[in-house]
């Protein structure tokens, strides 16, 4: 419950302008990404929870093609890694090649947190 509350506050503390600034920043960082990828990242924003420094949990959503209830995003040696890249998971070979929208959501989440 505490998490839900925190998310609500995260979103309400950021204005529409801040959100569009963060989205523009995300698009310029990943220029090859489609508009639908950016939209998925935005949808996942409220599903991001920082569980420890450098580690975030992103709730899985079946409507976004997720097969698991939760994904873990970590920063390892300065690079983002997501548990959907784990080699034992289906489609991981395909997914590993690109930055997934779980990571994109964490990048958005962090950009917005910095503004507070
Ligand atoms: Zn992922």
**90 alpha carbon to ligand 1 midpoint, in Å?**
12
What is the Cα 95 distance to its own chain's centre? 15
User: What mean pLDDT comes out for the span 91-106?
Assistant: 77
**96 alpha carbon to ligand 1 midpoint, in Å?**
9
User: What mean pLDDT comes out for the span 81-90?
Assistant: 79
Mark the residues whose beta carbon lies below 5 A from ion ligand 1.
82, 84, 100, 102
**103 alpha carbon to ligand 1 midpoint, in Å?**
6
16-29 helix and 35-44 helix, angle to the nearest 10 degrees = 130
Residue with the two structure tokens 């709730």:
59
User: What mean pLDDT comes out for the span 91-109?
Assistant: 80
**114 alpha carbon to ligand 1 midpoint, in Å?**
22
Domain that holds residue 104: 2-114
pLDDT digits (tens, 9 = 90+) for 21-58: 999 999 999 999 999 999 999 999 999 999 999 999 99
pTM for this prediction = 0.81
What is the Cα 93 distance to its own chain's centre? 20
| pLDDT number for residue 36 | 93
2-13 helix and 101-114 helix, angle to the nearest 10 degrees = 70
Q: Is the pLDDT of residue 100 over 60?
A: yes
**28 alpha carbon to ligand 1 midpoint, in Å?**
20
Q: Count Cβ atoms below 10 Å from residue 43 Cβ, excluding itself.
A: 14
Structural domain count of the chain: 1
């Amino acid at each position: 419950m505490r998490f839900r509350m925190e998310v609500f506050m995260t979103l309400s503390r950021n204005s529409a302008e801040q959100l569009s600034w963060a989205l523009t920043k995300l698009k310029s960082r990943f220029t090859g990404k489609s508009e639908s990828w950016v939209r998925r990242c935005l949808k996942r924003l409220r599903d991001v929870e920082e569980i420890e420094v450098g580690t975030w949990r992103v709730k899985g959503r079946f409507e976004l093609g997720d097969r698991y209830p939760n994904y873990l995003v970590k920063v390892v040696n300065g690079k983002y890694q997501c548990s959907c890249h784990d080699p034992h998971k289906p489609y991981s070979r395909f997914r590993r090649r690109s930055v997934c929208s779980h990571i994109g959501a964490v990048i958005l989440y962090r950009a917005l947190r910095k503004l507070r």
